[in-house]
């Protein structure tokens, strides 16, 4: 099964991807994680995208397309995958449908006010990648592995606002694009990832 998770920044794509991955045994392909890993390792791509990401801009399509083409050809993707954070532009979406067949695009619908609130209270574990929302429960260290949680540089208020603007102008048109292709299924983002996952799961069990 090939799944695209689509939604605004902080809509919960990463948390849903992890839940799907655990139950359905599919790899999560987070383009944000791939880029951050490149930055950490200071690869050519990493050096090029660092300031783009820190400003809340989108990385150019040609780079993203190359990353995805390479990743989905890896062995662990032969039975499918979950795309988390790709595509984000019409160009990327059109290319994706040219190189593969997607079974479903799950759009996580959440208000922009909520997105801003969540992004500001999001913390991540740098060791295992677990995502936390500290507005529900204040926590400094990861429950699972004990590492000290961090805030992503691009989750600071000015950058978040810029990312939301980019989402509205560049990414939101994809909703109509995928609807016309009859691939779109919408779920409303609930209070907790587990609650949202109930709707996601229902959709996936019918595919």
x/- mask, ligand AMP, residues 44-73, rule CB under 6 A, reads --------xx--xxxx----x---------
In the complex, minimum distance from the CB of residue 88 to ligand AMP, in angstroms, rounded to a whole number: 4
- Residues in 155-194 that interact with ligand AMP by CB under 6 A: 163
Rounded-to-integer distance, Cα 155 and Cα 162, Å = 10
Rounded-to-integer distance, Cα 125 and Cα 24, Å = 23
Q: Residue ranges of the alpha helices (H) in the chain?
A: 13-24, 31-40, 44-55, 61-72, 90-99, 112-121, 157-166, 173-180, 193-205
**Is residue 152 annotated as part of the catalytic site, yes or no?**
yes
**Is residue 201 annotated as part of the catalytic site, yes or no?**
no
**Is residue 163 annotated as part of the catalytic site, yes or no?**
yes
In the complex, minimum distance from the CB of residue 57 to ligand AMP, in angstroms, rounded to a whole number: 6
Q: Token digits for 53? A: 């990401």
Contact with ligand AMP (CB under 6 A) among 86, 107, 132, 178: 86
Give the binding range for ligand AMP (CB under 6 A) out of 81-89, 106-114, 124-132, 178-186.
Answer: 81-89
By the rule CB under 6 A, 142 interacts with ligand AMP: no
Find how far residue 1's CA is from the centre of its chain.
17
Contact with ligand AMP (CB under 6 A) among 154, 178, 196, 200: 154
Residues in the chain: 207
- Return the C-alpha torsion angle 49, 51, 54, 58, nearest 10: -50
By the rule CB under 6 A, 123 interacts with ligand AMP: no
In the complex, minimum distance from the CB of residue 28 to ligand AMP, in angstroms, rounded to a whole number: 11
Q: How far is CA 166 from CA 2, 9, 122, 131, in A?
A: 26, 10, 19, 23
In the complex, minimum distance from the CB of residue 35 to ligand AMP, in angstroms, rounded to a whole number: 5
By the rule CB under 6 A, 20 interacts with ligand AMP: no
DSSP 170: I
Contact with ligand AMP (CB under 6 A) among 16, 31, 133, 189: 31
Identify the CA nearest to 153 among candidates 35, 68, 65, 44: 35
Percent of residues in the chain assigned helix, strand, coil, to nearest 5: 50, 15, 30
* Residues making contact with ligand AMP (CB under 6 A): 9, 31-32, 35, 52-53, 56-59, 64, 85-88, 92, 154, 163
As annotated, the active-site residues are 13, 88, 122, 152, 163
């Amino acid at each position: 099964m090939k799944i695209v998770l689509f939604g605004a920044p902080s809509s919960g794509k990463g948390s849903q991807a992890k839940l799907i991955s655990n139950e359905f045994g599919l790899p999560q392909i987070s383009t944000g994680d791939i880029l951050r890993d490149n930055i950490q390792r200071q690869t050519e791509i990493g050096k090029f995208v660092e300031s783009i990401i820190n400003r809340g801009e989108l990385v150019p399509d040609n780079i993203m397309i190359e990353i995805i083409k390479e990743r989905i050809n890896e062995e662990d993707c032969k039975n499918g995958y979950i795309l988390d954070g790709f595509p984000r532009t019409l160009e990327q979406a059109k290319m994706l449908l040219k190189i593969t067949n997607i079974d479903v695009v799950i759009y996580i619908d959440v208000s922009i006010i909520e997105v801003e609130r969540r992004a500001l209270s999001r913390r991540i574990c740098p060791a295992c990648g677990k995502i936390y929302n500290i507005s529900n429960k204040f926590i400094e260290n990861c429950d699972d592995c004990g590492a000290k949680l961090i805030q992503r540089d691009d989750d600071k208020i000015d950058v978040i606002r810029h990312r939301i603007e980019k989402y509205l102008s560049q990414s939101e048109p994809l909703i109509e694009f995928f609807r016309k292709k009859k691939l779109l299924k919408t779920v409303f983002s609930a209070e907790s990832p587990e609650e949202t996952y109930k709707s996601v799961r229902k959709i996936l069990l019918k595919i």
